[in-house]
Amino acid sequence: MNDYINWIEEKLLQINLVKSMDQAEGFSRLGYTKEEKASQEQFRLISQSLGLKTYEDAAGNQWALWEVDKQAGWIATGSHVDTVYNGGGYDGSAGVVASLAAVKMLKDESFQPRKNIAIIAFACEESARFNVSTIGSKAISGLLDKEKVASYEDVNGVTLEKAFTKRGLDWQRIQDAQLEDDQLEQFIELHIEQASKLEKSGKEIGIVRSIAQPTRLHITCTGKTNHTGTTPMNERQDALVAIAPLITFIEEATIEINQEQAVALVATVSTIQNTPNSMSMIPGEVVVGIDIRSTKADLKHRLVEKVNRFVQQIEMNKPVSFTIKTLVDDEPTDLDPGIQETLTNICEKFGLSSMSLDSGAGHDVMNMSKRWPCGLIFIPCRDGISHHPLEHANMEDLLKGTKVIAEYLKKTSC
Ligand SMILES: [Zn+2]
Instruction: Considering only CA atoms, give the Rg of the chain.
Output: 24
Average pLDDT, the chain: 97
CA of 326 to the centre of ligand 1 (A): 25
Q: What is the distance in A from the centroid of ligand 1 to the CA of 191?
A: 7
Q: What are phi and psi of 375, to 5 degrees?
A: -135, 155
The pLDDT score that the predictor gives to residue 34 is: 97
Q: What three-state secondary structure class fits 267? A: strand
The number of beta carbons lying within 10 Å of the beta carbon of residue 328 is 11
d(CA 134, CA 78): 13
Q: Give me the sign of the Cα torsion angle 348, 354, 359, 365.
A: negative
Query: Could you give all domains of the chain from N- to C-terminal order, each with its CATH number?
Result: 2-211+332-413 (3.40.630.10), 213-329 (3.30.70.360)
How far does the centroid of ligand 1 lie from the alpha carbon of residue 92, in Å? 4
- Contact 20/34 with Cβ under 8 angstroms? no
Q: Averaged over 264-288, what is the pLDDT?
A: 96
Answer yes or no: pTM beyond 0.75: yes
Ligand 1 center–CA 387 separation, angstroms: 9
User: 263 phi and psi, to 5 degrees?
Assistant: -80, 135
Report yes or no: 219 and 271 within 8 Å, Cβ to Cβ: no
Q: What is the pLDDT of residues 183-231, one digit of tens each?
A: 999 999 999 999 999 999 999 999 999 999 889 999 999 999 999 999 9
> Rounded to 5 degrees, what angle do the CA atoms 261, 331, 266 make?
40
| Contact between 299 and 358 (Cβ < 8 Å) | no
pLDDT band at 390 (very low <50, low <70, confident <90, very high): very high
Q: What is the pLDDT of residues 142-169, one digit of tens each?
A: 999 999 999 999 989 999 999 999 999 9
pLDDT at 1 over 80: no
Provide, rounded to the nearest whole percent, the portion of the chain with pLDDT above 70.
100
Find the largest Cα–Cα distance for the chain.
83
